[in-house]
């Protein structure tokens, strides 16, 4: 009977059997491009790591040093510099041994210590959940990466070897690591242009998460490869023959998608395997950029191009620095033929990405510098994102959004090219230009035509943003923006706005309670304020006011402490808090009773939300009446000039035009209908539930009187849920 394949044996099929490496193997690989003294430093780092991990074993039972040695070998095969390889050898010593960062810096260099510390996780004991620990560790690593991009290259090499040797872990942990790899690390590798690394990480993750689908797809690809051999050879010979006729030389390669890319394409487009593999793909590698465009002309002359399937990533590189010409042709027998044309430097860039930078001795290669420059821009965006993110979980969510949708290319009015993810709107474009432009945008022009801010952009469009100093972000924008930068900036602005409103409300609430002690804020001594701040462990008086406005602290308790714990309290209830409906996000109105000016009201202090205003007779709040310290007496300000929603029920006869007649009557009385629900009672009568905007109870009474004069209206009542 045939033995069932193990996880380890199947992983070996993807990347080959894991070699038993020695330090001599590593030094031999490094000696191909590094100086002798640098190889000696690598050997010294190995012996240091070996001593630090001496008592430790891997799950497989092997000495732990085999893992950092394999990570360093991956880095050496990528031709990374000697400090990066040393960091690969030492990457776990801070996290898993007693060696400190300072000791590493003293033994080797500050640069090596920075790389190792950047890759090291944070202590999980300081976090509530594993998710928080993972998010904060990733955030720490990405911030370290902004100082030295080699941090992420070491981390990717570490993750690659861990994925190659997942077989010894339990199923749950295997799946968690594979999922994290596909969600975060493979997209980061793609974002940095490291295609070879991305492909292997994706295929390894795919195999662990969906082993059966992986085996079936791998078998089908092997069968199809033999069946397609004849036509692949025919197309290759045709291309080679035409290039020789034109006096051009190039390296022609058949190209295959990795299994995970095939799988995701089948799932995304709901295609069968035969339809996905019906495309024949080739890569043509030439000496220089000029030859790329010449060969493009030859290919379009050999086979007819498919309209709208040509992309020039040389003139407009992808966000990760990738450059190539892409075209799709009608090949022999009508089969589609995908062709990528690129120079050797571009090919090196496409496979190694930012890691290709270290392959050039002087670092003067244009492609290498381009990838590095674009990676730096992305890292600056990450820094801005983390400053505006509320916590590590929000940062991780925004990072996932950023990694990594298909791009579109649009133009500013001056002709500058902006790269955005597919599905981006004019608001995303505004924030891509500058955070201040996004925060103050009011309208947009696409192709000189005014469009809504929610308009989705397409490649080739010219976009102009119109701003005013008085405008500010709207919470509704979060429903349609797609970029992490836009989402983070909008949330940050709204949070800051809410905090400012909370400070103003907190000041009003504290002032109201201080009146009960016959004093006010201006009369308080600085010394007493500082004592109370220390007592509640807050840094500033505004922070204390903010916590009152958000409902996190009792205004009465704070007032008592500020007047030296005085227990004599005047009649606070005689001083209601005035509201006008313009207080912003820290004062909201109960949807259960929809209070409007003129209704007797009181406010319930809700932690984190501020004050929720209810009618005095609201039944929803009956069970909360016992919490006397949570209630605030409130009254309406005398001059209110805004609409408040209120729901009315209109019982009508079923006649043609009844809804239009009612809508016209409401409009005559300077009100708008926000929502209508029609409930047909029987063939003769229906109930219309109308949500309308009114200024006050008097305004509502006028509307109801007008509606009662309509012949088709039987009765009207105000709804309270």
106: pLDDT strictly greater than 50: yes
Please, how many CA atoms are within 13 Å of residue 81, restricted to the half-sphere of its CB? 15
Told to judge if 312 belongs to the known catalytic residues of this protein, a careful annotator would answer no
Can you give the pLDDT at residue 590? 87
5: pLDDT strictly greater than 60: no
Told to judge if 95 belongs to the known catalytic residues of this protein, a careful annotator would answer yes
Domains in the chain, start-ordered, CATH in brackets?
Answer: 7-217 (1.10.3210.10), 224-366 (3.30.460.10), 405-482 (3.10.20.30), 492-636 (no CATH), 644-718 (3.30.70.260)
pLDDT tens, residue by residue, 186-245: 888 887 778 888 889 999 999 999 999 999 888 888 887 776 777 888 888 888 989 888
Name the residue among 428, 437, 448 with its Cα closest to residue 471. Answer: 437
Percent of the chain with pLDDT over 90: 19
Query: Who has greater pLDDT, 133 or 198?
Result: 198
577: pLDDT strictly greater than 70: yes
Q: 387 vs 287, 347, 395, 576, CA distance in Å?
A: 44, 36, 9, 40
Tokens of 719: 């709804």
Least confident of 126-135, 178-187, 497-506, 685-694: 126-135
Across 619-646, average pLDDT: 80
Helix axes 36-52, 66-77, angle to 10 degrees: 160
d(CA 271, CA 261): 13
User: In a 3-state reduction of DSSP, which class is residue 597?
Assistant: coil
Can you give the pLDDT at residue 220? 85
Can you give the pLDDT at residue 258? 81
pLDDT tens, residue by residue, 533-563: 888 888 888 888 888 887 778 787 888 888 8
Q: DSSP string of 386-418?
A: HHH-SSHHHHHHHHHHHS-PPEEEEE-TT--EE
Can you give the pLDDT at residue 572? 47
Query: Who has greater pLDDT, 155 or 583?
Result: 155
Please, how many CA atoms are within 13 Å of residue 377, restricted to the half-sphere of its CB? 15
**Separation of first and last alpha carbons in the chain:** 70
User: In which band, very low, low, confident or very high, does the pLDDT at 357 lie, cut at 50, 70 and 90?
Assistant: low
Least confident of 204-208, 380-384, 480-484: 380-384
Residue 62 near residue 19 (C-beta atoms within 8 A): no
d(CA 557, CA 510): 10
d(CA 115, CA 107): 14
Residue 426 near residue 457 (C-beta atoms within 8 A): yes
Find the catalytic residue in 95, 183, 397, 500.
95
126: pLDDT strictly greater than 50: no
Q: What is the mean pLDDT of the chain?
A: 81
Find the catalytic residue in 81, 96, 107, 397.
96
649: pLDDT strictly greater than 50: yes
User: In which band, very low, low, confident or very high, does the pLDDT at 127 lie, cut at 50, 70 and 90?
Assistant: very low
Across 71-78, average pLDDT: 91
User: In which band, very low, low, confident or very high, does the pLDDT at 75 lie, cut at 50, 70 and 90?
Assistant: very high
Residue 201 near residue 183 (C-beta atoms within 8 A): no
CA 576 to chain centre: 44
User: In which band, very low, low, confident or very high, does the pLDDT at 249 lie, cut at 50, 70 and 90?
Assistant: confident
d(CA 163, CA 7): 11
pLDDT tens, residue by residue, 279-319: 678 899 998 899 999 999 999 998 888 887 888 888 888 77
Show the 3-state SS of 602-627: EEEEECCCEEEEEECCCHHHHHHCCC
Can you give the pLDDT at residue 681? 75
User: In a 3-state reduction of DSSP, which class is residue 474?
Assistant: coil
The torsion angle over the Cα atoms of residues 68, 69, 73 and 79, rounded to 10 degrees, is: 70
Can you give the pLDDT at residue 565? 57
Can you give the pLDDT at residue 560? 81
Can you give the pLDDT at residue 708? 92
Can you give the pLDDT at residue 367? 44
Query: Who has greater pLDDT, 633 or 72?
Result: 72
User: In which band, very low, low, confident or very high, does the pLDDT at 1 lie, cut at 50, 70 and 90?
Assistant: very low
Name the residue among 621, 601, 599 with its Cα closest to residue 718. Answer: 599
Query: Who has greater pLDDT, 586 or 447?
Result: 447
Q: Residue 690 gets which letter from DSSP?
A: E
Query: Who has greater pLDDT, 710 or 2?
Result: 710
User: In which band, very low, low, confident or very high, does the pLDDT at 47 lie, cut at 50, 70 and 90?
Assistant: very high
Name the residue among 287, 380, 304, 376 with its Cα closest to residue 339. Answer: 304
Counting DSSP H helices and E strands in the chain, the numbers are 29, 20
Residue 344 near residue 365 (C-beta atoms within 8 A): no
630: pLDDT strictly greater than 90: no
Name the residue among 201, 174, 175 with its Cα closest to residue 188. Answer: 201
- ω into 404 cis (within 30 of 0): yes
User: In a 3-state reduction of DSSP, which class is residue 452?
Assistant: coil
Place of tokens 């109201």: 512
Residue 506 near residue 454 (C-beta atoms within 8 A): no
Question: String of b and e for 543-578 (b: at least 16 CB within 10 Å)?
Answer: ebbbbbbbbbbbbbebbbbbbeeeeeeeebeeebbe
Query: Who has greater pLDDT, 452 or 403?
Result: 452
Place of tokens 């199923």: 171
Can you give the pLDDT at residue 73? 93
* Strand residue runs (E) in 500-638: 577-579, 587-589, 601-606, 610-615, 631-636
684: pLDDT strictly greater than 60: yes
124: pLDDT strictly greater than 70: no
pLDDT tens, residue by residue, 405-428: 567 788 888 878 788 888 889 999
Across 23-41, average pLDDT: 91
Can you give the pLDDT at residue 255? 76
Q: Residue 315 gets which letter from DSSP?
A: T
């Amino acid at each position: 009977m045939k033995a069932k394949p193990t996880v380890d044996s199947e992983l070996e099929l993807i990347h080959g059997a894991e070699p038993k490496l020695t330090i001599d193997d590593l030094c031999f690989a490094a000696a191909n491009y590094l100086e002798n003294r640098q190889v000696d430093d690598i050997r010294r780092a190995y012996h240091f790591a070996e001593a630090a991990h001496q008592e430790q074993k891997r799950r497989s039972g092997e000495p732990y040093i085999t893992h950092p040695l394999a990570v360093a070998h991956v880095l050496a095969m990528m031709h990374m510099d000697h400090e990066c390889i040393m960091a690969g050898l030492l990457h776990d010593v801070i996290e898993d041994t007693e060696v400190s960062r300072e000791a590493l810096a003293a033994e080797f260099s500050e640069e090596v210590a920075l790389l190792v510390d950047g890759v090291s996780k944070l202590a999980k004991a300081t976090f509530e959940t594993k998710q928080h620990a993972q998010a904060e560790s990733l955030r720490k690593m990405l911030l370290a990466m902004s100082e030295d991009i080699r941090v992420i290259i070491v981390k990717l090499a570490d993750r690659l070897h861990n994925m190659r040797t997942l077989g010894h872990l339990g199923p749950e942990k295997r799946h968690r690591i594979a999922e994290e790899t596909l969600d975060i690390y493979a997209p980061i590798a793609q974002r940095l242009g490291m295609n070879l690394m991305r492909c292997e990480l994706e295929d390894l993750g795919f195999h662990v998460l969906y082993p059966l689908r992986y085996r079936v797809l791998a078998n089908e690809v092997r069968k199809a490869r033999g069946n397609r051999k004849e036509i692949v050879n025919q197309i290759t010979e045709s291309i080679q023959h035409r290039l020789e006729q034109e006096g051009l030389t190039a390296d022609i390669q058949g190209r295959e998608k990795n299994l995970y890319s095939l799988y995701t394409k089948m799932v995304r487009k709901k295609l069968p395997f035969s339809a996905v593999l019906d495309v024949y793909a080739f890569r043509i590698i030439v000496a220089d950029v000029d030859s790329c465009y010449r060969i493009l002309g030859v290919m379009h002359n050999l086979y007819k191009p498919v309209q709208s399937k040509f992309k020039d990533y040389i003139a407009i590189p992808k966000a990760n620095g990738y450059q190539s010409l892409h075209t799709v042709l009608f090949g022999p027998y009508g089969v589609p033929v995908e062709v990528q044309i690129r120079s050797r430097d571009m090919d090196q860039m496409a496979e190694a990405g930012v890691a290709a930078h270290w392959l050039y001795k002087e670092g003067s290669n244009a492609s290498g510098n381009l990838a590095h420059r674009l990676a730096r821009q992305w890292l600056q965006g990450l820094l801005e994102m983390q400053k505006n993110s509320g916590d590590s979980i929000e940062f991780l969510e925004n990072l996932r959004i950023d990694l990594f949708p298909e791009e579109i290319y649009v133009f500013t009015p001056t002709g500058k090219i902006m790269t955005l993810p597919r599905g981006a709107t004019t608001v995303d474009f505004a924030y891509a230009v500058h955070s201040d432009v996004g925060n103050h945008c009011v309208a947009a022009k696409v192709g000189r035509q005014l469009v809504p801010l929610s308009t989705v952009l397409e490649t080739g469009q010219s976009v102009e943003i119109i701003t005013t100093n008085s405008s500010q972000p709207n919470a509704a924008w979060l429903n349609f923006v797609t970029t992490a930068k836009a989402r983070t900036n909008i949330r940050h602005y709204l949070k800051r706005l809410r905090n400012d409103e909370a400070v103003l409300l907190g000041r009003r609430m504290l002032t109201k309670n201080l009146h009960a002690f016959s004093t006010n804020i201006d009369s308080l001594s600085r010394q007493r304020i500082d004592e109370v701040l220390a007592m509640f462990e807050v840094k500033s008086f505004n922070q204390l006011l903010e916590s009152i406005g958000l409902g996190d602290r009792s205004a009465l308790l704070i007032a008592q402490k500020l007047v030296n714990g005085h227990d004599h309290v005047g009649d606070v209830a005689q001083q209601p808090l005035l509201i006008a409906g313009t207080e912003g996000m820290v004062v909201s109105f109960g949807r259960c009773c929809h209070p409007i000016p003129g209704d007797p009201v009181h406010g319930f202090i809700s932690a984190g939300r501020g004050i929720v205003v209810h009618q005095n007779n609201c039944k929803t709040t009956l069970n909360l009446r016992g919490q006397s310290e949570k209630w605030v007496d409130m009254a309406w300000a005398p001059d209110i000039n805004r609409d408040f929603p209120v729901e009315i029920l209109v019982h009508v006869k079923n006649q043609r035009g009844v809804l239009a007649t009612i809508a016209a009557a409401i409009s005559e009385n300077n009100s708008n209908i926000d929502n209508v629900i029609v409930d047909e009672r029987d063939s003769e009568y229906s109930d219309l539930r109308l949500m309308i905007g009114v200024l006050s109870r008097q305004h509502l009474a006028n509307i109801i009187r007008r509606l009662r004069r309509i012949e088709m209206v039987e009765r009207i009542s105000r709804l309270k849920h």
